[in-house]
Structure 1
Amino acid sequence: MAFWLLADLLILLASAATSVAGRPAAGCQTRCGDVDIPYPFGIGPNCSRGKAFEIACNPRNDSGELVPTLAAANSTIHVQSLSVAPIPEVKVMLPVAYQCYDSNNNITDWFNGAVDLNNNRVYRISDKRNMFVVLGCNTMAYTNNGNSSGKGPYAGLYYTGCVSYCNDSSSAQDGMCAGIGCCHVDISPGLSDNVVTFQSWYRYFQVNFNPCDYAFLVAKDEYNFQRSDLQKDLNRTKPVWLDWAIRDGGNSSASSSCPAPEVRKKMPAGYACVSDNSECVNSTNGPGYYCKCNKGYEGNPYLVGGCNDIDECARSDEYPCYGDCRNTVGDYDCKCRTGYQPRGGGPKIQECSQKFPLPAQLALGISLGFSFLIVAALFTLMMLQKRKINEYFKKNGGSILQKVDNIMIFSKDDLKKITKNNSHVIGQGGFGKVFKGTLEDNTIVAVKTSIEVNEARKEDFTNEVIIQSRMMHNNIIRLLGCCLEVDVPMLVYEFAANGSLQDILHGDANRSLPLTLDIRLDIAIESAEGLKYMHSSTNCTIRHGDVKPANILLTDKFVPKISDFGTSKLLTIDKDFTMFVVGSMGYIDPIFHKTGRLTQKSDVYSFGVVLLELISRKPTIYGENFSLIIEFQKAYDEVHSGRAMFDKEIAVEEDIFILEEIGKLAMECLKEKVEERPDMKEVAERLVMLRRARKHGQGSYNLSPRHHEEISIETTPTGFGADFSTNSSVTLSTTCTPERK
């Protein structure tokens, strides 16, 4: 007995003098001011998990109020809260970076915000809970993190910032942080410092109401811009959330992550998750890991015995039980009371029901009596549904279209099978979603909604379906069939695996693909061939009316297919104009906007915009509201060359001639005077000549009688600034003549 008492005494003395994993020294302070300090954090020697987690607790100035700070930081960083569960985070106050100026635009004060809070690699600034804010007029500020190790032109891996400007002292508005006086942006993960870089211009006239620029990290829900924030105040701090993790392995993510399960069981030296009922979770913000209690337990997983069983029965709001509840280790049992039985998901989900009581028996008998009535009602509903399907079929012109040889007529059930009950959405058309489907012969198709058909539209609808089905050209999306047994007809088209040219040129990084000049020329030529066919190679004169990259689909081999025309965009047969809005903003022919007349030259105008996008890889409106058309014209007016606008990916010296000629051709398509625009046949021929010129020598072809004409387009608001919606009504215009022999 004396031996064991001596051993216990030695252990007690040792724990009072030093800290081991999961056991801070005895007598450690667990609170500073109004902030709890849970382990692995601690105040004083042997009270925390090493220097990185040590918290200093000192009075604030002369008030005597105790304030916790990060002991390992190189400056005073106040701590507002510490948390180990359910997620590891620390809320601190970080200083605001600033740069001040005098009326001569000279810098008078400067601080880049550096705090170096991460000497021991424990903390990362939370990218989920913080944002980066810039205050000022005509200023840009950014922060960066990571080291590119010389791989690329930039020293850092990530750069995050924004631009703010003002015209005068009244420009900025309280509560508005969208670029005037204030801007904000999300940050990237892995950020470990507060360092800011400023760039400003035209500061001399703003020093009275905005003498300094400011930039800072701040919790997303704890900053509301006020115009008074632009005044001079160089001692600001802002609340910032920090993620923390166990990073004993240094910079090596492999050695700082959770050990393998078999290794964890042996509790390796330095392993932080020491509670029996805890688990290890890899950090999502930098290398390292953190600990949490297992399901059914709560507490501090960094302490031996720190995770304790939850009494779920005492917390009915969190752990419901519609019966008798009994707590178990790590869980709870919930059973129906005597005389009741579970239903549905069981008593943890919903109340139990009585075990077939007398009222239930009577109800069963009555329900059996009504079974026949229910069956009869279902049969009646089925007949009504069949009648409605027949009515839809007749309303949508089924009696006419079913006699057309090259159109497949699908039933409603066929369509459900083809699209697997509309399970795979691949886009949004003008009248509804577009679905991917597969025919019985494994042909992949796209299924989209057409316009709603009534008695007045039936003839137009059927004529347009027939016309589309007969347009056989490699560069026009083919209509395979339709379903007429629904209220609004569904059309089935061939499938283009690479999506639209819009996605390829201007989509996100996952869809943006490298495009050689050869591929772009092929897309331009074949798209022009498709439009030429529509304009002159069929027995009907067809005006597309909405030529744009979004309506040029690409196969897996980048073969372009003109799409999005026909029954969903009808124009009355034998008329050459419409008063409906046609096309999408940025592609609309200014002449159509003035006259309401849709011609083939309207398609030529829109195709000219597509050519500019192909060689510049810029959308019609880019940057700070720059117009692609206006900027191209400005380039030709000022330096007689579009070189500055060409996509850097293809703007190599040996191809500049070809790019210049494509740009000039596009400018001709965009001319204000309709009669000065080429037709699609000439456009296609000149593009083919450019492809030949590229293969055989760029200067050997006189490409067009217009080749040396001065190029000028109308740049008035009438041509480019009208308020047209991209979802506005778009029409296909057709004028049919007797079929050519």
Structure 2
Amino acid sequence: MLYNLHAFMAFWLLADLLILLASAAESISGRPAAGCQTRCGDVSIPYPFGIGPNCSHGKGFEIACDTRTRNGSGELVPTLAAANGTIHVQSLFVAPIPEVKVMLPVAYQCYNSSDSVTESFFGAVDLNNNGVYRISDKRNMFVVLGCNTMAYTNNGDSHGKGPYAGLYYTGCVSYCNDSSSAQDGMCAGIGCCHVDISPGLSDNVVTFGEWSRYFQVDFNPCNYAFLVAKDEYNFQRSDLQKDLNRTKPVWLDWAIRDGGNSSASSSCPAPEVREKMPPEYACVSDNSECVNSTNGPGYYCKCSKGYEGNPYLVGGCNDIDECARSDEYPCHGDCRNTVGDYHCKCRTGYQPRGGGPKIDECSQKFPLPAQIALGISLGFSFLIVAALFTLMMLQKRKINEYFKKNGGSILQKVDNIMIFSKDDLKKITKNNSHVIGQGGFGKVFKGTLEDNTMVAVKTSIEVNEARKEDFTNEVIIQSRMMHNNIIKLLGCCLEVDVPMLVYEFAANGSLQDILHGDANRSLLLTLDIRLDIAIESAEGLKYMHSSTNCTIRHGDVKPANILLTDKFVPKISDFGTSKLLTVDKDFTMFVVGSMGYIDPIFHKTGRLTQKSDVYSFGVVLLELISRKPTIYGENFSLIIEFQKAYDEVHSGRAMFDKEIAVEEDIFILEEIGKLAMECLKEKVEERPDMKEVAERLVMLRRARKHGQGSYNLSPRHHEEISIETTPTSFGADFSTNSSVSLSATCTPERKELYKL
């Protein structure tokens, strides 16, 4: 009886052992034991992970699903069974990349006002006891929170090679000046800092630096450091407050590693070994592949192209029906699924083109559809032509509107004005390729007419309905000014928004450039040349004042507006201020002109007269005989210095340009200087007119040619030159609503209030 009992017990023990061996064998060979739980709460548990004995690939892949571990909604939460602490698992992925998302605790170190550590936790959770996991360097970052806080994490054992115990260290420093320093959403070193991590990190352990913290405990009692998914953390200033029970989402890379199974290889076995399917090889499914891990040793499995599923299970990789998933696997024709791929061919009557029907639409073969396609193409071509024609008509209408707005209907009837089209102007200026200067309203371009005449093309004022009549009158007046010393207006282009004016070209630029330009300092200007420039410029202004059908006042006489031909013939240009006045009025609401040249009476009253031009011309004469700008040296005023010279020594000799101040010409220079000072008198009625100025300059030239002894001075030349009423300073900045003021310390820059 006792023998039978022993035999019976031995039988059952043997049966249990066989069942256990069979279950273990199934688990190792890619078949988890029957009845293994595949979900815990709302998290799927795919093999090689498993819940319970013989349900996973090994200890590192075991998942615990304890009824005591629930989330706020009361649902079960899976945890890593092999970890020392409770590490919640949020998701497990086998494909396309082996990943696990877990919640890891935040490390902290708290202080009191005595700078003593009161509480600390360094984040050690031992999540990797079996070597399965590595913290993902691609999807996570290391974050440090606090004020005067330094923290780092390290990994690996250097085994005494080098000065450090670990293989690498990574961390950062955050700083706060006070409770308001840190800003929500900012993690760049103030209250919060972050760094990327290197591959191979296998734990959550943190080391904090030893820094004084006693003065910050009120608003930041603790230092914090943690790993967190890059796209799942946004710093908030409230994070600096005391909260010791925080966890953060972290991505883990997993692989089949030595630590997961003592007999497993640390990388993919050779192809000949794989074909024999060794018991420890994890990629057991047909149509699966082995891939070496990029984060630590080991490998992982994936289904071959054209298959999907779980490569860790026998028969786990199944064929994809590509034809049923056209959004992922396009086919512009008839689709037929094949094992591991799919076949796509064009439908009857169509032929492949480009990259084939898997990439590009098929084209029809037959002539009729081709003719239809041609008809459609021709239709589109017609639409394009019609659209272009419409655009051309709209452009032409716009050009006609500009032409009408700019007074074209009036100006095209004027005989001596050439009207250029927009295309003409492009051809003349070669698409505005040669800029020669800057006018008050835009750039000045050099151009060439069909007869090879050189011209200058510049932008005029913008014309509206209120100013159209004034503009047309000004153009007509300018075109009728036929004088050798006035720049000739040849024509205009009215087919643009702002009219363009075409003038004769002056090859030597402006008198301003010749007198004061750095490039022309070496150019010798004899007294004869300067006297000729002065006489002919005066003749041009005299013509404007008295020899035309209407009185024209220039309003902005200065060297920059006296252009010179290649033979130094002066040409008065840029009728700036005159454009703001009607021809029969003296007053303007706009006081415009250039610093150093504007008539003080004009500036104070707005009354622009011929004597205003005389005043400005007087300044030009001073520049001609001194070759000094209106403001020179250390803020010296040319007008004031000449006045001082005549007041103190009754001679301007000290101011004359040394190039022309030879003894035999001093008399002529003195007379020019005295004439200039008469032009600068403040009382308008005491200034000579331009006719007298021109005549006296001509007499001086004649006297110089025949000897000064034959020059009979007029009575006014014997008068004491006095400009006591001339302003005591000139050249300082002024605006349109202030009177002219003089200062010996005015700015050295020549400033302009207005320039065309």
User: CA separation in 1, counterparts of 2:75 and 2:86?
Assistant: 15
Q: Which residue in 2 is equivalent to 1:231? A: 241
8 A Cα contact 2:336 2:344, kept in partner: yes
CA distance in 2, matches of 1:615, 1:229: 79
Given the two structures, how large is their TM-score scaled by the length of structure 1?
0.49
Report deviation, 1:379: 1.5
User: Which stretch of structure 1 is more off in the superposition, 393-402 or 5-14?
Assistant: 5-14
Contact 1:25/1:47 (8 A) holds in 2 = yes
How big is the shift at 1:375? 2.6
Is the Cα–Cα contact under 8 Å of residues 545 and 731 in structure 1 kept in the other structure? no
Determine if the alignment matches structure 1 residue 615 to structure 2 residue 625: yes
Once the two structures are TM-superposed, the CA of residue 63 in structure 1 deviates from its matched residue by: 70
Identical positions, percent: 94
Q: Deviations over 1:5-34 (max 9, x none)?
A: 999999999999999999999999999999
Q: Helix, strand or coil: the match of 1:694? A: helix
Q: Report the CA distance between 1:716 and its aligned residue.
A: 7.8
Whether contact under 8 Å (1:635, 1:642) holds in the other structure is: yes
Aligned partner of residue 717 in structure 2, secondary structure: coil
Deviating more after overlay: 660-669 vs 287-296 = 287-296
Give the superposition deviation at 1:424. 0.6
What SS does the aligned partner of 1:369 have?
A: helix
User: In structure 2, do the counterparts of structure 1 residues 246 and 355 end up closer, same or farther at CA, with 3 Å as the change threshold?
Assistant: same
Label 1:711 to 1:423 Cα distance change in 2 as closer, same or farther (>3 A).
Answer: same
Deviation at 1:593, TM superposition (A): 1.2
Does the 8 Å CA contact 2:229/2:250 hold for their aligned counterparts? yes
Query: Residues 506, 371 of structure 1: CA spacing in aligned structure 2 closer, same or farther, 3 A cutoff?
Result: same
Distance 2:723 2:606 in 1: 19
The 5 Å alignment of 1:439-588 reads 439-510=449-520, 513-565=523-575, 569-588=579-598
Q: Hey, what's the Cα distance between the residues in 2 that align with 1:282 and 1:615?
A: 91
Partners of 2:700 and 2:170 in 1: how far apart?
42
Deviates more, 1:367-376 or 1:493-502: 367-376
Deviations 1:479-509 (A, max 9, x none): 0111111111111110000000000000123
Check the 8 A contact 2:51/2:62 in 1, yes or no: yes
SS at match of 2:63: strand
Question: Which residue of 2 is the match for residue 15 of structure 1?
Answer: 23
Please tell me whether the aligned partners of residues 465 and 566 of structure 1 are also in contact (alpha carbons under 8 angstroms): no
Secondary structure of the corresponding residue to residue 44 of structure 1:
coil
Asked if the contact 1:671–1:711 (Cα under 8 Å) also holds between the matched residues in 2, the reply is no
| 8 Å CA contact retained: 1:210, 1:231 | yes
The question of 1:138 aligning with 2:148 is answered: yes
- The 1:564–1:183 alpha-carbon spacing in structure 2 relative to 1, beyond 3 Å, is farther
Is 1:16–1:26's contact at 8 Å kept on the other side of the alignment?
Answer: no
Q: 1:550 to 1:371 in 2, by over 3 A?
A: same
Give me the whole-angstrom Cα distance separating, in 1, the residues matched to 2:435 and 2:745: 34
Q: Say if 1:582 and 1:728, in contact at 8 Å, map to a contact too.
A: no
For the 8 Å contact 1:253–1:288, the answer to whether it is kept is: no
Deviation at residue 708 of structure 1 after TM alignment: 2.7
Structure-2 change in CA distance of 1:322 and 1:418 (3 Å): farther
Whole-Å separation in 1 of the counterparts to 2:256 and 2:697: 62
Cα distance between partner residues in 2 of 1:5 and 1:703: 149
- Range with bigger deviation, 512-521 or 679-688: 512-521
Which whole-Å CA distance do the structure 2 matches of 1:651 and 1:217 have between them?
A: 86
Q: Secondary structure of 1:221's partner?
A: helix
2:343 matched to 1:337? Answer: no
- Residues 543 and 733 in structure 1, CA contact (< 8 A), matched pair in contact too: no
Q: Is the 8 A contact 2:135 2:199 kept in 1?
A: yes
- Kept after mapping to 1: 8 A contact 2:554/2:578: no
SS in 1 for 2:27: coil
1:214 corresponds to: 224
Q: Is the alpha carbon distance of 1:184 and 1:719 closer, same or farther for their aligned partners in structure 2, counting shifts above 3 Å?
A: farther
Alpha-carbon spacing, 1:358–1:139, altered in 2? closer, same or farther (3 Å): same
SS in 2 for 1:733: coil
Q: How far apart in 1 are the matches of 2:467 and 2:229? A: 57
Residue 12 and residue 424 in structure 1: after superposition, are their counterparts in 2 closer, same or farther (change >3 A)? farther
Contact 1:124–1:242 (CA under 8 A) maintained in structure 2 = yes
Q: Deviations over 1:247-267 (max 9, x none)?
A: 999999999999999999999
Per mean C-alpha deviation after superposition, the further-off stretch among 88-97 and 402-411 is 88-97
Change beyond 3 A, Cα 1:180–1:12: closer
Relative distance call for 1:328 and 1:630 in structure 2 (3 A) is: farther
2:42 is aligned with 1:29: no
Deviates more, 1:699-708 or 1:449-458: 699-708
- Could you tell me whether the CA contact under 8 Å between 2:731 and 2:746 is conserved in 1? no
Decide whether aligned partners of structure 1 residues 540 and 211 sit closer, same or farther in structure 2, where only a CA change above 3 A counts. Answer: farther
In structure 2, the CA distance between the partners of 1:112 and 1:333, relative to structure 1 (3 Å rule), is same
Deviation digits for residues 467-489 of structure 1, max 9, x if unmatched? 11111000000001111111111
- Kindly tell me: are residues 260 and 587 of structure 1, through their superposed partners in 2, closer, same or farther at Cα, counting changes over 3 Å? farther
- Is this contact kept in 1: 2:562–2:573, CA < 8 A? yes
Asked whether the 8 Å contact 2:603–2:740 carries over to 1, the reply is: no
| Secondary structure in structure 2 of the residue aligned to 1:131 | strand
Distance in 1 of aligned mates of 2:435 and 2:578: 19
Query: Are the aligned partners of 2:289 and 2:301 in contact in 1 as well (CA < 8 Å)?
Result: yes
Residue 130 of structure 1 contacts residue 240 of structure 1 at CA under 8 Å; is this kept in 2?
A: yes
Asked if structure 2 preserves the Cα contact closer than 8 Å seen for 1:576 and 1:733, the reply is no
Which stretch shows the higher mean deviation, 155-164 or 623-632? 155-164
The alpha-carbon distance between structure 1 residues 602 and 16, as it changes in their structure 2 partners (threshold 3 A), is farther
Q: Which moved more, 1:661-670 or 1:204-213?
A: 204-213
Question: Does the 8 A contact of 2:309 with 2:316 survive in 1?
Answer: yes
Larger radius of gyration: 2
**Retained in 1: the 8 A contact 2:175–2:189?**
yes
Give the SS at the match of 2:455.
Answer: strand
Q: Cα distance 1:525–1:55, how it changes in 2: closer, same or farther (>3 A)?
A: farther
Following superposition, the deviation at residue 376 of structure 1 comes to 2.2
Query: Do 1:583 and 1:726's aligned partners in 2 also have CA atoms closer than 8 Å?
Result: no
Q: CA deviation at 1:573?
A: 3.8
Corresponding residue of 1:3? 11
Deviations 1:192-247 (A, max 9, x none): 99999999999999999999999999999999999999999999999999999999
1:640 is aligned to 2:611: no
2-structure distance, mates of 1:408, 1:392 = 17
- Are the aligned partners of 1:95 and 1:237 in contact in 2 as well (CA < 8 Å)? yes
Aligned-partner Cα distance in 2 for 1:635–1:75: 100
Question: Hey, what's the Cα distance between the residues in 2 that align with 1:21 and 1:440?
Answer: 94
Q: 1:64 to 1:251 in 2, by over 3 A?
A: closer
TM-score calculated relative to the size of structure 2: 0.48
CA distance in 1, matches of 2:85, 2:627: 48
User: C-alpha offsets along residues 707-728 of structure 1, whole Å, 9 cap, x if unaligned?
Assistant: 1333333688786245358999
Q: Report if aligned partners of 1:75, 1:115 keep a CA contact under 8 Å in 2.
A: yes
Tell me, yes or no, if structure 1 residue 162 matches structure 2 residue 172.
Answer: yes
Change (3 A) 1:354 1:95: same
The answer to whether the Cα contact below 8 Å between 2:109 and 2:117 also exists between their aligned partners in 1 is yes
Q: 1:382 to 1:275 in 2, by over 3 A?
A: farther
SS of the counterpart of 1:662?
helix
The answer to whether the 8 Å contact 2:556/2:576 transfers is no
Q: Equivalents in 1 of 2:505, 2:467: separation in Å?
A: 27
3-state SS in 2 of match to 1:200: coil
- Look up the match of 1:661: 671
Q: How big is the alpha-carbon RMSD for the aligned residues of Structure 1 and Structure 2?
A: 19.5
Distance 1:719 1:284 in 2: 82
CA contact (8 A) 2:419 2:494 kept: yes
Shift of residue 701 of structure 1?
2.2
Q: Which moved more, 1:530-539 or 1:96-105?
A: 96-105
Is this contact kept in 1: 2:256–2:264, CA < 8 A? no
Asked if structure 2 preserves the Cα contact closer than 8 Å seen for 1:531 and 1:562, the reply is yes
Residue 570 of structure 1 contacts residue 731 of structure 1 at CA under 8 Å; is this kept in 2?
Answer: no
The 2-side partners of 1:150 and 1:701 are apart by: 109
Distance in 1 separating the partners of 2:665 and 2:84: 56
In 2, Cα distance between the equivalents of 1:114 and 1:617? Answer: 86
Q: Flag the 1:512–1:548 CA change in 2: closer, same or farther, 3 A.
A: farther
Residues 465 and 567 in structure 1, CA contact (< 8 A), matched pair in contact too: no
With over 3 angstroms needed to count, the CA separation of the structure-2 counterparts of 1:580 and 1:259, relative to structure 1, is farther
Would you say the 8 A contact 2:514–2:521 is kept in 1? yes
How much has 1:695 moved relative to structure 2? Answer: 1.1
Residues 364-409 of structure 1: CA deviation (Å, up to 9, x unaligned): 9998764433332222111100000001111111111111111111
Report the CA distance between 1:664 and its aligned residue.
0.5
CA gap of 1:532–1:280, structure 2 versus 1, over 3 A, is farther
Deviates more, 1:492-501 or 1:315-324: 315-324
Residues 375/22 of structure 1: CA separation in 2 closer, same or farther (3 Å cut): same
| Shift in CA distance, 49/13, structure 1 to aligned 2, threshold 3 Å | closer
